[in-house]
Structure 1
Amino acid sequence: MRSPRSPRRLMEIVTGMWGAKALAEATRLDLFSQLSAAPGSTATEVAARNGLAVRPAEQLLTACAGLGLLRRQGPGYANTPEAETYLVRGRPDYFGDAVLSLDHRYAGWMRLGEALRSNAPTNFDAQASESMFDPEDTELQQHFWKSMYALSATSARALAAAYDFGPVRRLLDVGGGGAAYDIELCRAYEELRATVFDLPFICELSREPVSRAGLTDRISFAPGDFLREAALPAGHDAVLLSQVLHDWDERTNRLILAKCFAALPSGGRILISELLVDDTKDGPLLPALMSLNMLVSTWGATTRRRSTGRG
């Protein structure tokens, strides 16, 4: 096998955090919303607007342009279509909360070596909390739960196209915080009604996107804890688990699936939407990295393989 002629790809991997941090800080400044309102702003104008010196403002703008998020407009900068769609606050598919939530979680990744050696999470205080889903974590509430719709909407639309929900009348979305799947599926199937089952504070945070979508008459909420409740809400002919099972170990997943099965009538169906690694365990990249994210974020969870559903 011929040797690569340059370590450029390795350089791109090892400097990946640079781009992520540039995006996070630009999002924290709400730079893309500012440029949406005032396209063509110069580095001097951006600096004055944000209380920055011109040098760092220009460096941040240049980096965001290099990332393909900004383009030159005269002497200044404007958003690219991607930034205009996903990074302007108030837009339907705003992704900024996800950017800031993931940025908040980089602290655990900085201790990846510790997680590898201890086989224990580093993304939260394991002595004070049972899991990363701590209702007292204000940063988690401020950004992570708000980002659930943006993180899941694309997958939800793909599921609506890939699976025929025509026979389904009542869907129970277990761990469905953000209600993205319920919104997109109800938009695609006019006869469908959905119930979001999740922790009480997550249900409250998920009411806003449902209201904004005009679906309060078709999407309801059942607050609860699927790990502690003896049974899940009955009266549904399908149960959805979207990006839930990778957060828990195999024993806990068996418990969750057993409760889902018990909540369904004969002929009911359980639908699982997940990131999966190949059976050969050599990719794809995002599910493989998500598995490492589970190492720093959970006790015992991992991304499962396609054919077996096992880690």
Structure 2
Amino acid sequence: MSNNKTHKITPPTVADSPMWDRLMGNYNFACLMVSAQLDITGLIEQGYDTCKSLSQKLQLSDKGMRFFLLVLSHLGHICYDNHRLKNTELSQSYLSKDSLYYWGEVLLDPFHIYNVNHLDKKILTSLEREYELECKGRSVTDMWQNNDMDSESAAAFTHLMHSQGFASAVTAVSNGIFAEVQCLMDAGGGSGAIALPFCDSYPKRKAVLFDLTPVCAVASEYVQNFGKKEQVRIVPGDFFTGSWPEGCDGICLSNILHDWRPETCQFLIDKAFAFLPNGGHLFIHDMLLDETRLTPSLFCFHLFMNHGSQLYSTDELNEMLEKAGFEDTQCRRALGYFFVVSARKPQVS
């Protein structure tokens, strides 16, 4: 203080624990990333179920491993049973390499999307000017929009998006959201995260996986691995400039619109309306913006920093759908923060 006036020092009126929570929160995802790199979940499944056996197997500090495992237990990924480590259901679902819903492609972060190093500078940069996520020195958004994604980058992004979206997609299908559809187009479908569970739930129905050529090469592996070659037709193409494959009475845009600005989203919704037959359905599977909740707000800002885009609220999506001519808009929960907003193209009387 620069003056000589005596000030009475009074205690604060609110605890500083939230400040500590935010500070230490930087370690939460970083610890999960390290857990994936070390495959802690897999090692515990193999029988390395004590701190000592893990540290010896990995040739790491026993004391450090004890503290690290304590963090993983607080995050809900491991627990102790008679002094033996066990993977929780959360860990078995999302950190086990044998799980359909393995998040390893996210946690290993090949594009450094979630790297916390210099994150403050990235935030400031995005507030000063719109930031673009880059891959090999080029804008990822431009690569998608201009149909100019190389095979290696397309494969990495497809695996990444599958890890993030498959669990919610399977849940959405199991909830009967697509029950009225006979042939579903998974537009910009990547791995077929929607098409695969749709065909699994409805063995006599068909799906079309429509995406860029380098993505389709990766998608064919997923379709083969899930045994859906007879039901899923893979069609390469560009949903911005090209024609869409015929014969579908339903279209799903799964984790698509959050990558684009409103005018682009409206363009895609308008195009879907023109393409669908009368009575056909459009489905938007995505996390929705809820300004009262932290994680959707953070993800919305994350999208802005990486693509200049955003999450959309139910009201915003409904407005776009109604502007295109759709009716009977509905919003149904999929999994966690994810929902499916649906609408129907009117029947002609």
Q: Same fold (TM over 0.5)?
A: yes
Alpha-carbon distance in 1 for matches of 2:100, 2:139: 33
Superposition deviation, residue 103 in structure 1? 8.3
Q: Deviations over 1:122-157 (max 9, x none)?
A: x32696235275845957744x42243342233223
Could you tell me which of 154, 178, 182 is aligned with 1:169?
182
Matched, 1:227 2:240: yes
Larger radius of gyration: 2
| Amino acid aligned to 1:80 | T
RMSD: 2.9
Q: Deviations over 1:237-256 (max 9, x none)?
A: 11111111110012222222
Alpha-carbon distance in 2 for matches of 1:130, 1:105: 12
Q: Is the 8 A contact 2:101 2:167 kept in 1?
A: no
Q: Is the 8 A contact 1:178 1:205 kept in 2?
A: yes
Matched, 1:275 2:283: no
1:294-309 matches, within 5 Å, as 294-299=303-308, 301-309=309-317
Alpha-carbon distance in 1 for matches of 2:59, 2:258: 42
Alpha-carbon distance in 1 for matches of 2:64, 2:125: 33
Alpha-carbon distance in 2 for matches of 1:277, 1:162: 22
Could you tell me which of 23, 29, 34 is aligned with 1:20?
29
Match of 2:127 in 1: 116
Matched, 1:77 2:88: no
Match of 1:288 in 2: 297
Q: Deviations over 1:256-306 (max 9, x none)?
A: 22332233223322111222224xxx333332222111111113x111122
Matched, 1:200 2:210: no
1:138-149 matches, within 5 Å, as 141-142=155-156, 144-149=157-162
Q: Is the 8 A contact 2:49 2:85 kept in 1?
A: yes
Alpha-carbon distance in 1 for matches of 2:165, 2:247: 25
Matched, 1:33 2:33: no
Q: Is the 8 A contact 1:101 1:140 kept in 2?
A: no
Alpha-carbon distance in 2 for matches of 1:186, 1:258: 26
Q: Deviations over 1:26-69 (max 9, x none)?
A: 101112111111142333x3233223233433332222122221
252-261 or 236-245, which deviates more = 252-261
Match of 1:96 in 2: 104
Q: Deviations over 1:138-192 (max 9, x none)?
A: 57744x4224334223322343355553432111111111212112222223332
Alpha-carbon distance in 2 for matches of 1:67, 1:175: 33
Go from structure 1 to structure 2 and tell me whether the alpha carbon gap of 1:168 and 1:75 turns closer, same or farther (over 3 Å shift).
closer
233-242 or 157-166, which deviates more = 157-166
Matched, 1:48 2:56: yes
Q: Is the 8 A contact 1:291 1:303 kept in 2?
A: yes
Q: Is the 8 A contact 1:40 1:74 kept in 2?
A: no
124-133 or 62-71, which deviates more = 124-133
Q: TM-score, normalization: structure 1?
A: 0.84
Match of 2:252 in 1: 240
Go from structure 1 to structure 2 and tell me whether the alpha carbon gap of 1:26 and 1:20 turns closer, same or farther (over 3 Å shift).
same
Percent identity of equivalent pairs: 23
Q: Is the 8 A contact 1:104 1:139 kept in 2?
A: no
Match of 1:128 in 2: 138
Alpha-carbon distance in 2 for matches of 1:12, 1:46: 28
Q: TM-score, normalization: structure 2?
A: 0.76
- Structure 2, unmatched stretches of 5+, are 1-11, 321-349
- Count of equivalent residues: 301
Match of 2:20 in 1: 11
Q: Is the 8 A contact 2:43 2:49 kept in 1?
A: no
209-218 or 170-179, which deviates more = 209-218
Superposition deviation, residue 77 in structure 1? 2.6
